[in-house]
Amino acid sequence: MEMRVLGRTGMHVSKFCFGAGMFGYFGNSDQAECSRMVDRALDAGINYFDTSDVYSHGESETILGKALGKKRDDVVLATKFSLPMGGANPNMKGNSRRWIIKAAEDSLRRLGTDYIDLYQVHRPDSATDIDETLGALSDLIRQGKVRYIGSSTFPAEQIVESHWVSENRGRERFRTEQPPYSIFARRIEADVLPTVQRYGMSAIVWSPLSQGWLTGKWRRGATPNDTQRQNLQPHLYDMNRADNQRKLDLIEKLAVVAGDAGMSLMHMALAFTTAHPAVTSAIIGPRTFDQLEGLLAGADVILSEETLDAIDAIVPPGSNISHDDDGYVAPEITDKSLRRRPRKEQAHDNFRETISNIEKYKAAQQQKS
């Protein structure tokens, strides 16, 4: 397994990162099988493991911590915070100091460790000043509970803002960004990945197989039924959607390219993501031992220039096939109140208009008299 340096930290991580997102009720709650997968990943040379508190609401961290056991110091262990962990409780989510400190302590307990190698902000939080977030994370580093910090699915402009705050307010800075990236999700090539390179960060990409679309199982006339992902996120595989029909068409073309290169579509898709110079590691997230074996078989695949050019001709650089692959949508897009002038302001305008009309009416009356 190839090792790469994580940003400018001097810490080496494997080209494939074992993602434990499927550990727990979301995918696989069998501790024995999950431990077997972790051992197999270690044997294959993977030293980088990633999870999040929100994956199966903490169960993923617990299972991964038990699976690593005494091997914990041999690996780079990453987890994340930010997404809701307390149902309707508004203070058990987000990027506030109050939540970060509690979330970190909870993750340390579930993982069975006294430090986290890489602690990542799972998503931006428009309600929290980035200085508040970086201040709390910096304190965790100084306390020895966290070694490095990173962001996940941040737009390029927010990555830039975080570095400005770090430099000008004496905060620790993000060393990594974890964005969605695949042949079907290339938008970040235009902004996020160049920004990551500019600031000496590493990109640790998630969903390199585009939610399973690029595994080779999805083909026109032979799409799977009743898969784990279909049951949990059925909207991603609705065949009545035009973007999903387009994916099926593109898969047929990509399968030809993979065949000409002498490899499977899945291995070509994985190798595509790790070929980008900004990408340090691609997260693989197996649910079963057999899935892990299939993913590991592609660890040494390297794509030729001809194959990469052929992929570019099918899916243009910098483009996403579906909004499902965006990962993060700014609240300014989803919350219409952020695209409207406040009612108070509108009422003020209405008041001004009324006064203006009264003045015009008075002037007209005076003119008549």
DSSP-derived pairing of the beta strands 12-14 and 3-5: antiparallel
Q: Looking at residue 43, what is its pLDDT?
A: 98
Tell me the DSSP string of 16-43: EEEE-TTBBTTTB--HHHHHHHHHHHHH
Q: Looking at residue 369, what is its pLDDT?
A: 62
The one-letter code for the residue type at 138 is S
Residue recorded with tokens 């069998």? 30
Q: Looking at residue 323, what is its pLDDT?
A: 87
What number of other Cβ atoms are within 10 A of residue 5's Cβ? Answer: 12
For the chain, which ranges sit under pLDDT 50? none
Give CATH for domain 3-328.
3.20.20.100
C-alpha to C-alpha distance for 117 and 138, rounded to whole angstroms: 13
Q: Looking at residue 350, what is its pLDDT?
A: 60
Q: Looking at residue 220, what is its pLDDT?
A: 86
| Range list of H helices, the chain | 31-43, 59-68, 97-111, 130-142, 156-169, 192-198, 228-232, 242-260, 265-274, 289-296, 305-314, 331-334, 343-368
C-alpha to C-alpha distance for 142 and 140, rounded to whole angstroms: 5
Q: Looking at residue 327, what is its pLDDT?
A: 83
Rg (CA), the chain: 24
Q: Looking at residue 194, what is its pLDDT?
A: 97
Q: Looking at residue 348, what is its pLDDT?
A: 55
What is the end-to-end Cα distance of the chain in Å, rounded? Answer: 94
Point out which residues pair with 81 in neighbouring strands.
121
Q: Looking at residue 355, what is its pLDDT?
A: 60
Q: Looking at residue 354, what is its pLDDT?
A: 62
Q: What's the maximum distance between 2 C-alpha atoms anywhere in the chain? A: 99
C-alpha to C-alpha distance for 250 and 77, rounded to whole angstroms: 36
Q: Looking at residue 367, what is its pLDDT?
A: 73
Q: Looking at residue 228, what is its pLDDT?
A: 75
Confirm if 31 and 59 have CB atoms less than 8 A apart.
no
Q: Looking at residue 154, what is its pLDDT?
A: 97
Which sequence positions are flagged as catalytic? 55
Helices (runs of H) and strands (runs of E) counted in the chain: 13, 10
C-alpha to C-alpha distance for 83 and 57, rounded to whole angstroms: 10
Residue recorded with tokens 């990962």? 327
Nearest to 175 by CA among 157, 146, 199: 199
C-alpha to C-alpha distance for 170 and 164, rounded to whole angstroms: 10
Domain boundaries, the chain: 3-328, 335-369
Point out which residues pair with 282 in neighbouring strands.
16, 205
Nearest to 171 by CA among 134, 223, 206, 204: 134
Q: Looking at residue 346, what is its pLDDT?
A: 53
Q: Looking at residue 358, what is its pLDDT?
A: 63
C-alpha to C-alpha distance for 81 and 62, rounded to whole angstroms: 15
Q: Looking at residue 351, what is its pLDDT?
A: 57
Burial of 140: CB neighbours in 10 Å, binned 0-12, 13-18, 19+: buried
Report pTM. 0.89
C-alpha to C-alpha distance for 131 and 170, rounded to whole angstroms: 10
C-alpha to C-alpha distance for 358 and 362, rounded to whole angstroms: 6
**DSSP at 185:** B
* Angle ∠(80,299,292) on CA atoms, nearest 5: 65
